[in-house]
Amino acid sequence: MPSPTKKRKLNDQSSSGVQSRSLEYFFSKQKQKGTSTPRESLSEAAVAPLSNEANGSELTDEELARKLQAEWDAEVQNERAASTPCPDPTKESTPQLSQPDESAAPAEPPAPTVVVPQEPTKNTLSLSSVANAEDTASATVPLDQSPLTFDTSEFVPQLKANWAAEGGRASYAFLTRCFVLVNGTQSRIKIVDTLVNCIRVLIEADPESLLPAVWLATNAISPPYISLELGLGGSAISKALRQVCGLDNRALKAIYDKHGDAGDVAFEAKKKQSFTLRKPKPLTIQAVYQSLVKIANSQGHGSGEAKQRIVDRLLQDARGGEESRYIVRTLCQHGRDFACEFKYDGQRAQIHCDDKGKVTIFSRHLELMTDKYPDLVALMPKIRGEGVDSFIMEGEVVAVDKENGELKNFQTLSNRARKDVAIGSVQVNVCMFAFDLMFLNGQPLLDRPFRERRELLRSMFLEVPHQFTWVKNLDATSQDSEAVLDFFKQATEIKCEGIMVKILDNLTEVPYQGDEAADADGEAEQPKIQSKSKKGKPEKDEEVIPKKKGRRKPLLATYEPDKRLDSWLKVKKDYNSSFDTIDMIPVAGWHGQGRKAKWWSPILMAVRNEESGSFEVVCKCMSGFTDAFYKANREFYDDGEETGGRNNTRARKPAFVEYSGPEPDVWFEPQEVWEMAFADITLSPTYTAAIGLVSEERGLSLRFPRFLKKREDKGLDEASTNEFLASLWRKQEAKAPTKDSNGGGTVDDDFEE
């Protein structure tokens, strides 16, 4: 009896074919390789006649059951065939398909089974290797060669062929190659050569990219008279790095902990990205520059999202870590705010004052020198403002004219006695130029930013004319280079050593920071300082907040005792190319320390005395020498300790050398002339060169002497004389703000020279 009509709908084969081929979707690769097994052919032959028969007439329940069983067996056979390396067709048994009319059906599969394995490829995601996308052609150009030997014709054709896919525009990878080479050397000549070769290639290969390359190399996008700022914060770069490189806040923080620089963070984050779902579109120099201009021109509602999209796309298309490094450094266009301060030519002092008014003064080596400056001790009650009980401050003690406050030189300050100085016997007046405050009313300020410490110093203390004041300073950014240069010139003109450059604030917007590092307005959370009473003790009703031991970030504006950090830089006038040099004679040397133990360092240098024919020692020199020079110099002046034979050396001081200081390890046979640079010429009680020409009691010495080169064209009789040294001293003093005192005295080793 036929089944009801509704049940016969189960016999509709419009969807059964898809079910019977469902496993073929997963084994399409095997069929594409042409490795179909006998089991698969048999199952296809069995399914095909059943499908044809179903299309011709309706099946009974028994026939329908057989057909469904055949489909099930076919799926099982396909599964076994895929899991069996060497199928055996003799073990296959299909008793249900032994009907003669079905076995005679053609073995060719129907048309739909042929196209099915190709359909899934339309929605398949493929991974692209980041390493394979890097521009290897640009990475091999030796831009750091000398322009005289660098031949652009050897590289331009290959570069142009490589850039053809980008419309002939120069790739950003080429400019990145230039940046990498410049960053890898401290030689100014190498840097200039690299930039020259880069410009030469661009002029010949892609002139239209030359101007954008110049802007990118100068870290700018417009002239100074055009106000065009990127207006990007660290949060935009942080978000882009997280999205592009697949990092969370913790991973990004870990990278920043290790490296500190935003560009280095991007480099490491990009290296962790081995694959990407889309092949990066190579960046060009023009495209990067135009993207920066678009960021700067984005204003109004929705500009933040527009800028973020541009930053994301730049980092997505950056090929390799190096491109990412310099993209991020360009996006962080402006550096941190910094302060420039006069570096006075005096003695550094740290003044401690407790809540009982006891004053103690220490040198930069923490040696007690309270007795040396009784006038400063008496001055402390006058400078304490209202509410100041205890403090620790640092500054520079400088000799000044009491009447007009004009600065005096370093030698004048050295004339003060060192111990048991009575305040009534002080002949050399000093002024304290304060520049930092580390402790106030029981509160340590070491973890406060320098800007905050400086503000407290200037608001809580009072100036006393010509006795206590602040160092002269200039707050600037990386765009104020001309103002900083003028400030530096002012410092050198009044006989300062140079200037100090200090970071003003901690980095509050760093690329690794997430939402937990800032509030909704983007302001970093300020550290909580427990309030204290006037006695410096915590209030009774307030809870003392324990100090957390956080990690120390690079380039903090905090104060680190007994450490020289990169957040404080000294810019000295030493070795200015406009200064005179002097030709001197090496006469003796000492065994070096550490890695220089096998060489002579320092080396004693002298000038000629034309009247007596003697050599007058001026200074020791241990700067400007290379390791190769040290090695050659040791071989030339051999004392015989290693070789057993003495060469160009003496066992004792020759009579024609005038020197009364510490005995050297070896005396040289004078026969060379070396050109020396220096920062200043000073009066010295140790060296007697030019004594009597400028002072009856002291000779002249060089401050910060540095070797320049050997003067092989000069003999000993052409070396500089003591008269020439004295003339340089007079020339120097003519520029000094005050007259020098030539009184006797000894030089304090604690002076900041």
* Same domain assignment for residues 562 and 587: no
Categorize the per-residue pLDDT at 15 as very low, low, confident or very high, splitting at 50, 70 and 90. very low
Burial-class residue 27 by CB neighbours within 10 Å (0-12, 13-18, 19+). Answer: middle
Spatial separation of the C-alpha atoms in residues 349 and 693, rounded to whole Å: 34
* Cβ atoms of residues 378 and 423 within 8 Å: yes
* Same domain assignment for residues 564 and 591: no
Q: Is 338 helix (H, G, I), strand (E, B) or coil?
A: strand
Count other C-beta atoms under 10 Å from residue 215's C-beta.
18
- What is the mean pLDDT of the segment spanning 701-716? 91
Angle at 339 (CA atoms; ends 336, 342), nearest 5 degrees: 150
Does 539 map to a domain? no
- From 123, 140, 155, give the residue that closes a domain: 123
Q: 727-734, long-range: CB within 8 Å, 24+ apart, which pairs?
A: 728/580, 728/582, 728/681, 729/681, 729/690, 729/694, 729/700, 730/694, 731/580, 732/680, 732/681
Does 577 map to a domain? no
Does 533 map to a domain? no
* Same domain assignment for residues 363 and 482: yes
- What is the mean pLDDT of the segment spanning 517-541? 40
Confidence (pLDDT) at 94: 39
pLDDT > 50? residue 551: no
* Same domain assignment for residues 414 and 344: yes
71 vs 746: which has the higher pLDDT? 71
Spatial separation of the C-alpha atoms in residues 60 and 112, rounded to whole Å: 26
Does 547 map to a domain? no
Q: Which two tokens stand for residue 286?
A: 């023009």
- Under DSSP, the state recorded for 169 is P
- What is the mean pLDDT of the segment spanning 464-480? 87
Most confidently modeled range among 76-80, 531-535, 556-560: 556-560
701 vs 92: which has the higher pLDDT? 701
Spatial separation of the C-alpha atoms in residues 426 and 409, rounded to whole Å: 17
As a whole-number percent, the residues of the chain with pLDDT over 90 amount to 29
Q: Is 425 helix (H, G, I), strand (E, B) or coil?
A: helix
Categorize the per-residue pLDDT at 657 as very low, low, confident or very high, splitting at 50, 70 and 90. very high
25: left (phi over 0), alpha (psi -120 to 50) or beta: alpha
Determine the structural domain holding residue 88 and report its residue range.
5-123
Categorize the per-residue pLDDT at 603 as very low, low, confident or very high, splitting at 50, 70 and 90. very high
324 vs 507: which has the higher pLDDT? 324
Spatial separation of the C-alpha atoms in residues 31 and 507, rounded to whole Å: 60
CA-atom Rg of the chain in angstroms: 41
Beta carbons within 8 Å of 521's beta carbon, 6+ residues apart: none
Q: Which two tokens stand for residue 423?
A: 């305040």
The pLDDT mean for the chain works out to 76
Categorize the per-residue pLDDT at 748 as very low, low, confident or very high, splitting at 50, 70 and 90. very low
pLDDT > 70? residue 89: no
Q: What is the pLDDT of residues 210-250, one digit of tens each?
A: 999 999 998 888 887 787 778 777 778 888 888 778 777 78
* Same domain assignment for residues 87 and 192: no
Angle at 81 (CA atoms; ends 77, 85), nearest 5 degrees: 155
- What is the mean pLDDT of the segment spanning 246-256? 78
DSSP 88-118: -GGG---GGG--HHHHTS--SPPTHHHHGGG
Confidence (pLDDT) at 81: 56
- What is the mean pLDDT of the segment spanning 90-112? 44
Spatial separation of the C-alpha atoms in residues 720 and 711, rounded to whole Å: 12
Does 743 map to a domain? no
300: left (phi over 0), alpha (psi -120 to 50) or beta: left
* Same domain assignment for residues 311 and 234: yes
Confidence (pLDDT) at 550: 36
Spatial separation of the C-alpha atoms in residues 553 and 293, rounded to whole Å: 32
pLDDT > 80? residue 7: no
> Does residue 38 have a cis bond before it (omega within 30 degrees)?
no
214 vs 548: which has the higher pLDDT? 214
Count other C-beta atoms under 10 Å from residue 152's C-beta.
17
Does 683 map to a domain? yes
Q: Is 82 helix (H, G, I), strand (E, B) or coil?
A: helix
- What is the mean pLDDT of the segment spanning 378-382? 93
Confidence (pLDDT) at 736: 53
- From 284, 314, 334, give the residue that closes a domain: 334
Q: How many secondary structure helices (H) and strands (E) does the chain include?
A: 25, 22
Closest by Cα among 207, 223, 32 to 116:
32
pLDDT > 70? residue 20: no
* Same domain assignment for residues 119 and 20: yes
Count other C-beta atoms under 10 Å from residue 478's C-beta.
13
Residue 532: strand pairing partners: 538
- From 107, 123, 139, give the residue that closes a domain: 123
Residue 244 belongs to domain with CATH number = 1.10.3260.10
Beta strand 430-440 pairing with 468-470: parallel
Q: Is 729 helix (H, G, I), strand (E, B) or coil?
A: helix
Spatial separation of the C-alpha atoms in residues 91 and 479, rounded to whole Å: 84
Q: Is 153 helix (H, G, I), strand (E, B) or coil?
A: helix
500 vs 40: which has the higher pLDDT? 500
* Cβ atoms of residues 719 and 586 within 8 Å: no
- What is the mean pLDDT of the segment spanning 26-34? 54
* Same domain assignment for residues 153 and 96: no
Categorize the per-residue pLDDT at 679 as very low, low, confident or very high, splitting at 50, 70 and 90. confident
- What is the mean pLDDT of the segment spanning 630-659? 88
Does 534 map to a domain? no
Q: What is the pLDDT of residues 498-507, one digit of tens each?
A: 899 998 876 5
Q: How many domains does the chain have?
A: 4
Q: What is the pLDDT of residues 574-591, one digit of tens each?
A: 555 556 789 999 999 999
Q: What is the pLDDT of residues 405-415, one digit of tens each?
A: 888 877 788 77
Spatial separation of the C-alpha atoms in residues 391 and 438, rounded to whole Å: 7
Q: What is the pLDDT of residues 106-149, one digit of tens each?
A: 445 544 444 444 444 444 444 444 444 566 778 888 998 899 99
Beta strand 468-470 pairing with 128-129: unpaired
Q: Which two tokens stand for residue 275?
A: 């694959």
Confidence (pLDDT) at 235: 76
Confidence (pLDDT) at 689: 92
Beta carbons within 8 Å of 160's beta carbon, 6+ residues apart: 168, 205, 206
* Same domain assignment for residues 295 and 370: no
* Same domain assignment for residues 397 and 426: yes
pTM value? 0.50
65 vs 728: which has the higher pLDDT? 728
* Cβ atoms of residues 512 and 370 within 8 Å: no
* Same domain assignment for residues 114 and 77: yes
Q: Which two tokens stand for residue 291?
A: 């993207």
Beta strand 338-343 pairing with 498-503: antiparallel
pLDDT > 80? residue 561: no
Which stretch of 76-85, 296-305, 462-471, 560-569 has the lowest confidence by average pLDDT?
76-85
* Same domain assignment for residues 26 and 40: yes
3-class SS shares of the chain: helix, strand, coil, % to 5: 40, 15, 45
Burial-class residue 166 by CB neighbours within 10 Å (0-12, 13-18, 19+). Answer: middle
* Residue found under tokens 């979707």: 25
Alpha carbon of residue 143 to chain centroid: 22
Spatial separation of the C-alpha atoms in residues 47 and 94, rounded to whole Å: 12
Confidence (pLDDT) at 629: 92
Residue 389 belongs to domain with CATH number = 3.30.470.30
Residue 615 belongs to domain with CATH number = 2.40.50.140
Spatial separation of the C-alpha atoms in residues 637 and 674, rounded to whole Å: 15
Confidence (pLDDT) at 604: 96
Categorize the per-residue pLDDT at 479 as very low, low, confident or very high, splitting at 50, 70 and 90. low
Does 545 map to a domain? no
Beta carbons within 8 Å of 455's beta carbon, 6+ residues apart: none
Burial-class residue 44 by CB neighbours within 10 Å (0-12, 13-18, 19+). Answer: buried
As a whole-number percent, the residues of the chain with pLDDT over 70 amount to 70
